[in-house]
Structure 1
Amino acid sequence: MLSVLDDMYRNQRRRMMNVQPEDGRILRLLAEAVGARNIVEIGTSNGYSGIWFCLALRTTNGRLTTHEVNAQRASLARENFKRAGVYHLITLVEGDAHEEVTKLKEPIDILFLDADKPGYIDYLNKLLPLVRPGGLILAHNTANLGGGMQDYIEAVTTNPDLETKFIHKHDQGIGVTLKKR
């Protein structure tokens, strides 16, 4: 799996908006730390972050449901999931995640947002009720306050049921939000 991630980073990142490798390691670490059995990702891209999650899901015996609106990226992700040997751990949903997430019913251990930044607040409002107490909401690109991120950041930092910290090791950043209750 690591060789596939390395190949994807070297050869596919220019056309994709993937997390940095150090962020991928953080995603894996957090998924393993909370014992994630159900991860929901909004914004599959080429599957890079999904494979990082699957490194943990092999240990936790969990699954990833990932949403991608772009058919070409979804196809590339499907190929990459197969190359990495993790396709059996993944449900790839093609379509507008704003509509598709309303079909989700199972408790979520980790929600990962890495799609349309103005849509983060909509995803949060729709999916927060499904995130279990002790679960995490991870948001990519929180270092950039433009493009609708301010509403999301205000929502996760002012809700008394949430605790949020930001990891900004580079120009993208990840927001890590714990649902306390």
Structure 2
Amino acid sequence: MDKPRRAILGAAAALVAASPLAKAQGRGRAGEAPPLAASPQEKRVLEVIADVGGNQRYLSVPEEDGRLLRILAESLGAKQVVEIGTSTGYSGLWLLLALAKTGGRLTTYELDAGRYEAAKRNFERAGLGKHVVQVLGDAHEEVKKLKEPIDLLFLDADKEGYVDYLARLRPLVRPGGLIVAHNMASPPADPAYLRAITTDPALETVFLNMQSAGVGVTLKKR
């Protein structure tokens, strides 16, 4: 089994443990026990994540989805991660936990200037600014400038735009790379995007955490 498939299955197992059924069986939800820091740097980042999650608006993902992103990126050994929809940086901070370990870089796009600035402050507070390239503007246009291969693409912006982002960026996603899309359950996913990721034999998709916002994890096959 190759590394991307192991990453997906490992993340799926983590989310099974977080399900209501698992809670009823005494294992608890993943979000109830905070993640444990393995280093002073990780402790600093987790403290910023906790502050953003508890005190700031416009969170892009719930904690369990943020932890999933970290698991996927670190399992891949990702060097190049692209995020469409920075918001205030909450999901980006989870990705950066992985990229600080892999030596990778996050390129993240945001249309709103206020959220862009809030994210910048949060990344700097976490001490991870050197791992981030922030882009302010319309991602549909700005991503045309990307040239480097992508290990993990995370979509969490205008839901009707997912098909366009997929068309523009899929050629850059390396074989064995992942395309992760948020809000596959709530709000309802764009049917055109669902068709694109489930009817193409060159892609393999699983859906996780569908009892909440929902995450689609798509493997670009080798």
Q: Fold-level match, TM-score > 0.5?
A: yes
1:4 aligns with 2:45: no
CA RMSD between the two structures = 1.1
* Matched letter for residue 171 of structure 1: S
Superposition map of 1:115-154 within 5 A? 115-144=157-186, 146=188, 149-154=190-195
* Matched letter for residue 146 of structure 2: L
Structure 1 portions without partners, runs of 5+:
none
Cα displacement (A) at 1:144:
3.2
Q: Which of 68, 79, 89 lines up with 1:47 in the alignment?
A: 89
State the partner residue of 1:175.
216
SS at 1:178 equivalent: strand
CA distance in 2, matches of 1:11, 1:17: 10
1:111 aligns with 2:145: no
CA distance in 2, matches of 1:4, 1:129: 34
* Matched letter for residue 164 of structure 1: T
Cα displacement (A) at 1:61:
0.7
Cα displacement (A) at 1:149:
1.5
Contact 2:59 2:90 in 1 (8 A): no
- CA radius of gyration, larger in: 2
State the partner residue of 1:72.
114
Cα displacement (A) at 1:171:
2.3
CA distance in 1, matches of 2:134, 2:177: 21
Cα displacement (A) at 1:68:
0.2
Superposed CA offset, 1:62-103 (max 9, x none):
000000000000000000000111111000000000000011
SS at 1:28 equivalent: helix
What is the TM-score normalised by the length of structure 1?
0.95
SS at 1:171 equivalent: coil
Cα 1:57/1:158, change in 2 over 3 Å: same
Structure 2 portions without partners, runs of 5+:
1-44
Q: Which has the higher strand share?
A: 1
Alignment coverage as a number of residue pairs: 178
Superposition map of 1:80-119 within 5 A? 80-119=122-161
CA distance in 2, matches of 1:74, 1:128: 25
SS at 2:101 equivalent: helix
CA distance in 1, matches of 2:77, 2:157: 24
Point out 4+ residue stretches in structure 1 off by more than 3 angstroms.
none
State the partner residue of 1:16.
58
CA distance in 1, matches of 2:173, 2:210: 26
SS at 1:128 equivalent: helix
State the partner residue of 2:105.
63
SS at 2:216 equivalent: strand
CA distance in 2, matches of 1:149, 1:169: 15
Cα displacement (A) at 1:42:
0.1
What is the TM-score normalised by the length of structure 2?
0.78
CA distance in 2, matches of 1:160, 1:169: 23
Cα displacement (A) at 1:170:
3.5
Cα displacement (A) at 1:51:
0.6
